[in-house]
Amino acid sequence: MKLGIVGLPNVGKSTLFNSLTKAGAESANYPFCTIDPNVGIVAVPDERLKLLGDMYQSKKVTPAVIEFVDIAGLVKGASKGEGLGNQFLANIREVDAIVHVVRCFEDSNIVHVDGSINPARDIETINFELIFSDIEILDRRIAKVAKQARMDKTLAKELELLEDVKAHLESGKMARTYEVPEDEDKEAWFASYNLLTAKPTIYAANVAEEDLANDGADNANVAAVRELAAAENSEVFVICAQIEQEIAELNEDEKAMFLEDLGLKESGLEKLIKASYSLLGLISYLTAGEDETRAWTIKKGTKAPQAAGKIHSDFERGFIKAEVVNYKDLLEYKSLSAAKEKGLVGTEGKEYVVKDGDVMLFRFNV
C-alpha cells in the first residue's frame, strides 16, 4: 500500500512524515523544502505477529508494510505549474490513497501561507488544484474521443461519461463522490482515468498537544475538518505531529508510558494505519512457522486462491485447499495439531473468503 502525504506548506506534513518513517526528511520552516518526494517504508504494527513468532520461535518475523511518500507543499495555482505544482501532481497519481494534513493549531512562530488558520479554506485550496488537474486529464481524453464518437457507438458512450464526470468536477465536487453508472464499460473507463480526486482520502487534523487527549473534541477547526470529510465519505484522524516526532525517538516501553501520560491508547501511526485499512477495505492474514511468521495484506472479500497468490503465483495456479485457523485459537492451543484435535482448524476450498487474523497453510500442486 502506498500513501501520499499532502498539505499546504508549513502544516506539519514533513514533521509527520519524519515521525512516521524516522526517515529524517528535511523539515524547515519555508515552502518547498521537500522538493523530491521522500519515500519511507513503515512496518504495520501487529501484536499477533510477535505472539505467533514467539510461539513458533520463528527465525524471521515479517510484518506488512506501508510506503509513505512525502509530496512537496502545494500552493494555489499548482495545476497551472505554480510552486512545484506539476511535479507534485505527477507524484500523487502513483499513490493508492491520500493523507491530507490540515493545520488545526495556532502558533505565531510558524507562518501560514495564507496568513491565518482556516482548515476549510486550506482543504478547498488543495482540492481545487486536484480538480483542475483532473479536468485537464478529462479534456485531453474528450478531445481525442469527440472526433470519432459520431461514427462509433462505444466512443459516444464514453464521451457521455467523460462529459458527465467533468460537469461533476466543475461543480466543485470530488470524483470520489461521483456515482459511476452500473455499467462494466463505464466502470472500467472511470478507473482508467486514474483521477486524483477519485483517490480515497484520509484527513489528518494536526492539533496542539492539549487537544490530543479528547481527540480534538473542543477544537472548532477539527470540527470543520470532520464536517467536510463526512460530506465526501473520507476518514479523519486527530494527530499532533510534534508529539509523534517525540514518540518516534522512544523505545517500546518508553512509548507506552509516554502515551499513557498523555491519556492516549495508541500512537498517530497506529491511528493512521487503522484509518487506511478501513478506507481501502484491507485486512491481513498470517502464515506462521519455524522459518518465518508473516502478515499478508489483502482486500476484504478475497478468496483463498487469490490470497495464496500474494505469496507466489504458483500457489494460486495450483491451489488445492487451505488449512485455516483463527490466530487466537492457535495461540491458545499452542500448535496446529492441538487446535486440529479441538476441531478448530478448517479445510477450505476455492470459494473460502479469507478473514482478518486467519492463519493459513496452503496446499498446492503445480
Q: What is the DSSP string of 161-212?
A: HHHHHHHHHHTT--GGG----S-HHHHHHHHHT--GGGS-EEEEEE--GGGT
Residue 138 has pLDDT above 90, yes or no: yes
Q: At 322, phi and psi to the nearest 5?
A: -135, 140
What integer best gives the mean pLDDT of the chain?
A: 88
Confidence (pLDDT) at 69: 86
- Number of helices (H), then strands (E), in the chain: 14, 12
**Tell me, what DSSP letter sits at residue 249?**
T
Query: Per residue in 264-285, pLDDT tens?
Result: 888 888 888 888 999 899 999 9
Residue with cell string 488449512: 323
- Asked if 225 contacts 236 with a C-beta cutoff of 8 angstroms, the reply is yes
Cβ-based burial of 253 (10 A; exposed 0-12, middle 13-18, buried ≥19): exposed
How far, in Å, CA of 248 to CA of 190, rounded? 40
- Nearest CA to 205 out of 219, 188, 191 is that of 219
How far, in Å, CA of 340 to CA of 322, rounded? 13
Q: At 102, phi and psi to the nearest 5?
A: -120, 130
Query: Per residue in 279-316, pLDDT tens?
Result: 899 999 999 999 999 999 999 999 999 999 999 999 99
Residue 24 has pLDDT above 50, yes or no: no
- Residue 160, C-alpha cell as written in the block: 457521455
Residue 343 has pLDDT above 70, yes or no: yes
- Nearest CA to 360 out of 52, 50, 59 is that of 52
How far, in Å, CA of 74 to CA of 209, rounded? 25
What is the model's pTM? 0.82
- Asked if 237 contacts 204 with a C-beta cutoff of 8 angstroms, the reply is yes
Query: Per residue in 144-180, pLDDT tens?
Result: 999 899 999 999 999 999 999 999 999 999 999 999 9
Q: What residues contact residue 122 under an 8 Å CB cut-off, 6+ apart?
A: 7, 8, 11, 102, 103, 114
Residue with cell string 517525540: 246
